[in-house]
Chains A and B, each alone.
Chain A
Amino acid sequence: MTFNQEWEQLKKDASDRLQLASAGVTKGDNGRGELRSSRTAWNQASQGVGSVIGIMRSAVGGLTEGQRGAGGGDAAMEGLLSAVTQGSVYRSWQRKIELLHRECDELKGKLEKSGNAFYYTDSAIKDAFTEQQTRPDEKPDTGRPAPGEGGQSRW
């Protein structure tokens, strides 16, 4: 099943008025079904974040591709103030998107763990999501790296 099909199924479950609960809090009377569906909901969310990573990865590929000429690969561009500025703007966004990627990774992992009962209680899930692991990269030269340094992206 594709993500969309799975999602449709999930939405259908929801409209069947399945009242679900996350770990620790239950609502309704079918405890087992709830637990299974709760796992599905978390895992679908985790996969959803995974698909977002995919969307962004391909876009960043396109962005980098477009930088070949204007980004300094062309001698005539190098002396243009606007082209140089664009290159610097590009690197700043690369860093920002890198940060968003790490945030996605963190959330994807925690959503999955929530579905797999890694956290024992609801409040443990809360603590996990409240704890901010992803932090901006504060290396002094990450914003505008020297040529040859800033080209690596995890996307």
Chain B
Amino acid sequence: MVTFAQLTQLRPAEFGEAADGWHKLSSAASAAKDRVSDDIATQLQKLLIGEGVDAAVVRLRRLAQNFHYVQVESGLVRAALNGLGEELGAAQKKLLDVVAEAEAEKFTIKPDGSVHWVEADPTIPTTPQKSVQGERPVVVIGSDADPKRAKAQEYADRVGAALKEATEVDTRYAQALGRLHADNDLNVSDADWVDAQRDMGTVRTATGSLAEGSIPKDKSPKENAEWWKGLSGDDKADYAALYPASVGALDGIPSDVRDTANRVVLAEKRADYQTQLNAIPAEPWKYQPGSKGNPMATKTTEWVKWDREWAGKKAQLEASLKGMGDIRKRFERDIEPGDDRFPRAYLLGFSPEGRGRAVIANGNPDTADHTAVYVPGTNAGFGNLAHDIKRATTLWTVSDAVSDGGSVSTITWLGYDAPQGAKAAVSSDYANNGAPSLNRFVDGLNASHEAGSPGHLTVTGHSYGTTLIGSAARQGDLNADDIVTLGSPGVQVGRATDLDVPRGHVWNEEASGDPIPEAGRMKHGRTEYHFDTGVDYVTPSNERFGANPMRTDTSGHGSYWDRDSETLLNQARVVVGDYDNVSRRGR
């Protein structure tokens, strides 16, 4: 029980000071993690080869994991202490208010919480001191001839209520904080990350002042950005520590904030999914031999049961974990071993639920002079994420080489459920459902881009991804400067001018032997009726569409990122705004 003396003498600011200390630890651990992982381990790996350096890198990566864990857990301690200080401060204020009011009316409150007064009745010569305490049967006003006693009882009750509140706060936070003890080893296990996720939930529940409901939902990226800018430093850090998934998904707030938040979600979800996968029982023997009367081999009942209960879940977990592994490999920059340097990755969106969402930037788009958002097409997902990450890193390398000193960021935007398989790709639903997210993401990039550079922004799409781009422009505003369509089956609209970018800023490539533009146009092209030619399904490859046709020297639907190709170089030139040097078809 928190006592009257404790609550009056308490300095809640001290919790804030302690919280600041934890904040310093959390920030330092975050910086240490980046340095060990990005600067030290990755660089060593790039510069040296051999089993010696490999062994060193294993130790360094484990050290970085430890720092990440310290960052997350000390962030939770900080958030808990900030909440504790605030709530104890509120209880203290209630108590001090009662004391001040009571004293103004000549009552005295003793350290045991009892309220005392002196009967100033001139007829009574000895002026006896009287007192009441809270949590006693309340005196019914009216039946008591002594109005002072009723007043005193009211104060005593209020004192009791403030102490009770403080005690409840103290107990609640003590329980939450008790979860946050550090273990004493160097191994950051999956169980540790699963615990961290649970600890986050505990601190969230304990922390009354910082509710998830106050994080903007379904607001414009500009409003999100304003909300974030209006927060105090403490609140920013606490929201990121307690609600990393919500903060990481918030279009419009700074990319480095989203990245830090999403990396926490990734670490925790990966451990969570791996733990779930490990818990799935082993697949039983599938077939049993036939018997005399029935010579055909049949599936065992154990297997059928297992298949029904676990097979789907297992496949889903495995695909998700594969995608998460690909993202982690990109963080370690070895998605393409032995390749050129890449800039730091920023995880701008992450969710393993369903087919999975991941938005991975190469270089910080908030400070980049040129940003390209790549929208992948059919079959994109966590099961083959490396493929689409690699396309954006490839585009980065070439764009960076021709950017004439301008900084470049390229982004793999898997922000929608892409159709899986050619049959699904016939439907426009995937594009139509995902398009608003693309518009929001692009608006978010515009909102979070720092002043001082124009922030030239290109949206590139491949195959079905171009259909989504068209749908985004058709349904809302796609606020990009340039659009590049690659192997497009059609973009729902019939003219380049319908794609929301300035005239002359839609660029198209159709590689030789790419069957998709022809195969898809009846489904995703714009149906038009012309007097001379009859029905036409217009795609960006059609002359009447009005895109700038760029020259290609590669062949096939998957050839748009072939190394040292004109196909890729032309995209890069658009990305960096070097329009004059784009080679065009038929010139």
Contacts and interface: CB of A to CB of B under 8 A. Distances in A.
Tell me whether A and B are bound partners: yes
Contact of A81 (B44, B73, B174): B174
Interface of A: 7, 10-11, 13-15, 18-25, 27, 37-38, 41-42, 44-45, 48-49, 51-52, 55-56, 58-60, 62-71, 74-77, 79-86, 88-89, 92-93, 95-97, 99-100, 103-104, 107, 110-111, 114, 119, 122-130, 134, 136-138, 142-143
B43 A14 contact: yes
A7 B169 CA distance: 49
A17 to B, nearest CB: 9
Nearest to B2: A80
**Sorted from nearest, which 10 A-B pairs have the closest CB atoms?**
A66-B21, A125-B52, A69-B14, A59-B28, A62-B24, A129-B55, A96-B182, A70-B18, A81-B174, A63-B21
A52 B48 CA distance: 21
A93 to B, nearest CB: 5
Nearest to A37: B47
A20 B32 CA distance: 26
B181 A88 contact: yes
B39 A56 contact: no
B51 A122 contact: yes
Contacts of A76: 5-6, 9-11
Most A CB contacts (10 A, CB to CB) among B39, B46, B341 go to B39
B60 interface: yes
A80 B6 contact: yes
A64 B21 contact: yes
A133 B243 CA distance: 38
A53 to B, nearest CB: 9
A7 B184 CA distance: 33
B15 interface: yes
Given A96-B184, A97-B70, A66 B20 contact: yes
B340 interface: yes
Interface SS, A side = helix
Given A56-B32, A64-B21, A93-B182, 16 more contacts: A13-B47, A21-B49, A24-B50, A49-B60, A51-B35, A55-B28, A62-B21, A62-B25, A80-B6, A80-B170, A100-B186, A114-B52, A123-B51, A125-B52, A129-B59, A136-B184
B56 A69 contact: no
Given A70-B18, A85-B177, A125-B55, A93 B49 contact: no
Interface of B: 2-3, 5-6, 9-11, 13-15, 17-22, 24-25, 27-29, 31-32, 35-36, 39-40, 43-44, 46-56, 58-60, 63, 66-67, 70, 73-74, 77, 81, 84, 88, 169-171, 173-174, 177-178, 180-186, 340-341
8 contacts: A13-B47, A42-B48, A56-B32, A66-B19, A66-B21, A84-B174, A86-B77, A103-B66
Contacts of A130: 55
Interface SS, B side = helix
A81 B171 contact: yes
A45 B63 CA distance: 13
Contact of B49 (A25, A49, A70): A25
Contacts of A136: 184-186
A82 B3 CA distance: 14
A93 B70 contact: yes
Contact of A20 (B2, B28, B36, B48): B48
A67 to B, nearest CB: 6
A73 B40 CA distance: 40
Contacts of B19: 66
A105 to B, nearest CB: 11
A52 B25 contact: no
A119 B88 CA distance: 58
Nearest to A81: B174
Given A21-B48, A95-B184, A126-B52, A66 B6 contact: no
A143 B178 CA distance: 13
Contacts of A15: 340-341
